[in-house]
Amino acid sequence: MTITVHHLENSRSQRVLWMLEELGLPYNVKRYERDKATMLAPPELKRVHPLGKSPVIEDGGRVVAETGAIVEYLVDKAGGRLGPPEGEDAALRYRFWLHYAEGSLMPPLVLKLVLSRIPLMGKPAMKRIQPMIDVHLDYVESELASREWCAGDAFSAADVMMSFPLEAARNRAGLDESRPATIAWLEKIHARPAYAAALAAGGPYAYA
């Protein structure tokens, strides 16, 4: 059965397309554009899910929202591929990165984005947010310097989840060549054929 991805431009739903390409699962894309004034999702998404946000997928009558939940759903649907590696420590590390991406790393990045759009008052506040982001970027750098992928030697769904916050940090939150392991990791994911195929399917994406 073909999965429908309700995909919002320049959004976290790009990871869902990439995940589907990596797993080779059939899907189609329903695209939505942001409001040009507010940059928010259009009201049409509320017809799919009450929160009116993307990503959302439909699969055989099921509606699944939230990127992490969708990614775990797809891992299960694909029989565990790109899921936790063998070994208790490696599996725990996988779960950490899977949830760290949205639970810890994204909130200060979103806060900085919001503050950047507030005239005058936003700029002083942003100066206080960047040191918080730097703590996370330094931590990620130290971890990626010690292994090839987030969870270990093999690419996994944890890397898919980490892609959006690190791409966003590269774009607007100080991630640069001073953290070479993280930059090298970004270059590796961008070189994956499934990543390129997902970009072609999803349309414009500012962070690639």
pLDDT of residue 35: 74
pLDDT of residue 34: 81
Q: CATH classification of 88-192 is 3.20.20.70, yes or no?
A: no
pLDDT of residue 133: 96
pLDDT of residue 117: 77
Burial class (CB in 10 A: 0-12, 13-18, 19+), 199: middle
Q: 122-144 and 106-116 are packed helices; what angle lies between their axes, rounded to 10 degrees?
A: 150
Nearest CA to 189 among 156, 143, 151?
A: 156
Tens digit of each residue's pLDDT (9 = 90 or more) over 148-199: 999 999 999 999 999 999 999 999 999 999 999 999 999 999 999 999 999 9
Going from N- to C-terminal start, the domains of the chain cover 3-82+194-202, 88-192
Q: Which residues of the chain have pLDDT under 70?
A: 120-122, 208
pTM for the predicted model, two decimal places: 0.92
Nearest CA to 102 among 71, 73, 58, 79?
A: 71
pLDDT of residue 40: 74
DSSP state of 135: H
CA distances from 208 to 32, 129, 169, 174 (A): 19, 24, 12, 16
Q: Which CATH number fits domain 3-82+194-202: 3.30.70.260, 3.40.30.10, 3.40.50.1000, 3.20.20.70?
A: 3.40.30.10
